[in-house]
Structure 1
Amino acid sequence: MVIFPSRGQGRREFPAPSSPAHARTARRAGGGGGGGAHAGRLRPSRRGSDAIRRRGCPPRGRRPCPPLSPIPAGRSRIPPDPVHSRRRTLLPANRLPAAILVGFGATLAIDLWALLLKRAFGIPSLDFRLLGRWILHMPAGTFVHKSIGAAPPRRFERAAGWVAHYLIGASLALGFVLLAPDRWLEEPTLLPALAYGIVTVLAPFLVLQPALGLGIASSRTPRPGQARLKSLATHGVFGLGLYAWARLLAGIAGP
């Protein structure tokens, strides 16, 4: 019987070596042949133990430490910094042309909707000649009219009205892109655009229509209810146009 001490467990007894395999087992358990009991015993270095602890391995003797999984190509184990990983807080210069195109497209959708109402149902829309007249009276200090139709006409008022119509649409689109969820231009969704389009009806209700002499929310028109519903529908179409043109541009640009 060969006796070898073991740390924390008293002594261990091994059967006398009856074969070369038993002799090799005894030598490995005792750290060598007939030398000291602790001679040749291998101990892990402190550096190796610390590395194992950092890897989250279990204590020695329970089960082997699982190997680290390989890192996929293009990924890192370091978590992203939430401050530097933000995509944007303001409108970058490369998004400006896309937002303007979306605004022009949504304004074109309004014009097609107005043409449909006029041809199919005989419902007239705003004459942009009057919008241009209102704008061209501003340099003289006149911002509010009792009746824009009775105001003196101005030269190039029709062209000024159409240009202002599309510039207003582009400005509203820029404002929406600034307020929309992050990456909306790359991955547009319908609900934010539709809600924003409906909210923008407050601009004609509270600014344009009173300035043209039509009253707040068309209150001075012959049929205020019909005029309000038409304005709500028109600005809803503007929101749909924002979404549709953003989807079109995102498809052209690709992933």
Structure 2
Amino acid sequence: MIILAATPIGNLSDASTRLVQALENAEVIAAEDTRTTIRLLSALGIQNRPRLLALHDHNEKAKAAELVALARTTDLLVLSDAGMPTVSDPGYGLVAAAAAADVTVTAIPGPSAVITALAVSGLPTDRFSFEGFLPRKQGERRSTLRRLARETRTMVFFESPQRLAASLADVATELGDSRRVVVARELTKLHEEVRRGTAAELAAWAAEGVRGEIAVVIEGATVADVPFADAVAQVQSLAAAGIRLKEACAEVAGLTGHSSRELYQAALAARS
């Protein structure tokens, strides 16, 4: 089978007992960076020296079939440099290929920068979306943020320290100066910092320079930010996906604050 194993995102003490046992018993490990895996084995005091295979963004497509075939006869442990493989890290293509080939895939849960940042943010956690890294180029980044301006769920992003100030400035431009934002830096590490404020405030703070691994959590759009027409469009999208119209209206009403009855009437009128 294929075993996806979450590794510490900073603090080595977060390595689970299951992870340590898997590393001690592994015969083959597919790793995002084999050098990082060697350091992890050493840091955890693991004497086992499994066969290490590189699995990264540049070779995953070519290696997937070979690794799936290997997993038919032996357990293949899959590691990214930090956190859970496949989540903004290599592994998705391998898992998709394994699923298509009916090869078992399981996971050893553990640290996640996405969930950790969301949990400490102080923003709503009942509904959220993970958006990965924002585009590097400003035009594409602003276009992406513009599409997300009406998103009512809390949003989690990763960002490089070099682009953080520019990205936060674009958040202020496209989502509004007063949109609440949280920057979580160096999570679980010695210099962990969680900075809360508006988009404008944090853009000014980041302009002075920020270091480390960065996760950005952004408040979802409020009722006032979601026009009625957009709410009706959300209802139509849910209905098209097979959800009953009344249930779709109730869900969107709960997210946007618009009347469920008015949404229902508008959706029915749009059908005629």
Give the alignment's TM-score, normalised by structure 1.
Answer: 0.21
Q: TM-score, normalised by structure 2?
A: 0.21
Higher strand share: 2
Q: Which structure has the bigger radius of gyration?
A: 1
